[in-house]
Amino acid sequence: MKAVRITSWLAGLFLLASLAIVARADQLETISERGSIEGAVYRDFPPFSYRNEKGKRAGIDVEIAELVAEKLGVNLSARFIGVDETMEDDLRNNIWKGHYIGGGVADFMMHVPYDLAFAADNDLVAFLAPYYRDNLALAVNTDSADSVRSAEDIDQHRVGVELDTLADFYLLSPRHGNRRENVVHFGNISEAAAAFGRGEIDAIAGPSAEIQGIMKAADRQFDLRPLPTPGLQNTGWDVGLGIRFNHKGLINAVIAAMRELREEGAIAAVFDRYGVDYREPSAAALETGYIQQ
């Protein structure tokens, strides 16, 4: 566990203030009283969080959030959120401040990166309970582009990416500049999967779990390969939950619930139901389990 650093008497004062809030009433009590917990999940984000054909909420993140609520003995109220420019914005809008348009904050948020450096810049959020690890991958049509194994191989092939993502930037970077014409942009991975099905592109580059879940749900034939990305620092990342820093009781309860779920194999089972290979968080992430500045 990363220690809480008190670098000045001022920080100490803030700590005292936050403890005083805890002593009065933790968010956990409020949640118990109302009988429901509000979890923020991304809107239109299969296989993690979306509404199915019947309009029912579904997805890996949704089901894990439901399991957490069950462990706490309350119902899940899912808040489907839009994506802002950066993760910092999403955390501000949904965890510690709320958007200025109104609507307040949720009790916790799914799909939050678990990363010491990132956490250091977001000190109003506690990062906890990493539940899987993602990386960049290529889904390849083996009939038309079996030779594609890296960004260097895409010369003759068309690769779909989601606009304004890491895979997009990497494939467009000047080091692959002569291959820029081969990068095809889509609004999301689902649109790319549809184009893949029509034979318009030979491969899709993006987050592994997202591509795998969507392609399996669409019943596409493909081979999933890691996308090597020399030069990038952050090509694999752990994903966990975020909760407002001062909700100590809630934080502890969710950490305990997630630990039990992992040990019971319930998390891996959820991934399995959506056709996504479950990859454990990194050993380092599992060891800490909780980051707060």
Partner 1 sequence: MKLNWNSRHLTRSLLATAVAATVTVVAPAAIADGHGKGVTDDMILNDQASEEDVVSYGLGPRGQRFSTLTTINSENVGGMVPAWAFSMGGEKQRGQESQPLIHDGVMYVTGSYSRMWAIDVRTGEELWQYDHRLPDGILPCCDVVNRGAGLYADLVIFGTLDAGIVALDQKTGKVRWKTKIDDFKAGYSMTAAPLIVNGKVITGVSGGEFGVVGRVEARDAMTGDMVWQRPVLEGHMGHVWKDGAQQENGITGTTNETWPGDMWKTGGAATWLGGTYDPETNLVFFGTGNPAPWNAYLRPGDNLHSTSTVAINPDTGKIVWGYQYTPNDHWDYDGVNELISFNAKIGGEDVKAGGHADRNGFFYVLNRENGKLLNAFPFVDKITWASGIDLKTGRPIEADNRPGDPTASDDGKKGESIFAAPSFLGGKNWMPMAYSQDTGLFYVPSNEWGMDLWNEPITYKKGAAYLGAGFTISPLNDDYIGALRAFDPATGEKVWEYRNPAPLWGGVLTTAGNLVFTGTPEGYLKAFDAKTGEELWKFQTGSGIVSSPVTWTMDGEQYIAVASGWGGAVPLWGGEVAKRVKYLNQGGSVWVFKLPSS
Judged by beta carbon, residue 207 or residue 281, the one nearer partner 1 is 207
Q: How far apart are CA 281 and CA 273, in angstroms?
A: 19
Contact 125, 95 (CB under 8 A): yes
Judged by beta carbon, residue 20 or residue 116, the one nearer partner 1 is 116
7 binds partner 1 (CB under 8 A): no
Q: Minimum distance between the CB of residue 157 and partner 1, rounded to whole angstroms?
A: 14
Judged by beta carbon, residue 146 or residue 180, the one nearer partner 1 is 180
Query: Considering only 112-120, 197-205, 215-223, 272-280, which stretch makes contact with partner 1 by CB under 8 A?
Result: 112-120
Identified binder of partner 1 from the candidate list 111, 244, 247, 262, rule CB under 8 A: 111
Q: How far apart are CA 116 and CA 113, in angstroms?
A: 9
130 binds partner 1 (CB under 8 A): no
Contact 206, 189 (CB under 8 A): yes
Identified binder of partner 1 from the candidate list 183, 205, 211, 276, rule CB under 8 A: 183
239 binds partner 1 (CB under 8 A): yes
Q: How many residues bind partner 1 (CB under 8 A)?
A: 54
Strand, helix or coil for residue 260: helix
Judged by beta carbon, residue 111 or residue 247, the one nearer partner 1 is 111
Q: Which residues contact 79 (CB under 8 A, 6 or more apart)?
A: 38, 39, 40, 41, 94, 106
Q: Which residues contact 172 (CB under 8 A, 6 or more apart)?
A: 180, 183
Identified binder of partner 1 from the candidate list 26, 38, 63, 90, rule CB under 8 A: 90
Treating both helix axes as pointing N-terminal to C-terminal, what angle do 266-273 and 60-72 enclose, rounded to 10 degrees? Answer: 150
Q: Minimum distance between the CB of residue 73 and partner 1, rounded to whole angstroms?
A: 27
**3-state helix, strand and coil shares in percent for the chain, rounded to the nearest 5:** 40, 25, 35
DSSP 8-state code for residue 93: I
Q: Minimum distance between the CB of residue 87 and partner 1, rounded to whole angstroms?
A: 4
The three-state DSSP-derived secondary structure of 185-238 is EECCHHHHHHHHHCCCCCEEEEEHHHHHHHHHHCCCCCEEEECCCCCCCCCEEE
Q: How far apart are CA 58 and CA 52, in angstroms?
A: 6
Chain positions 21 to 60 lying near partner 1, rule: CB under 8 A, are: 42-43, 45
Query: Considering only 26-34, 51-59, 168-176, 252-260, which stretch makes contact with partner 1 by CB under 8 A?
Result: 168-176
Judged by beta carbon, residue 9 or residue 100, the one nearer partner 1 is 100
Q: Minimum distance between the CB of residue 65 and partner 1, rounded to whole angstroms?
A: 14
* Residue 207, preceding peptide bond in cis (omega within 30° of 0): no
168 binds partner 1 (CB under 8 A): yes
Residue numbers of the site for partner 1 (CB under 8 A)? 42-43, 45, 80-87, 90, 93, 99-101, 103, 111-113, 115, 117-118, 134, 136, 163-166, 168-170, 172-175, 177, 180-185, 187, 207, 210, 230-235, 237, 239
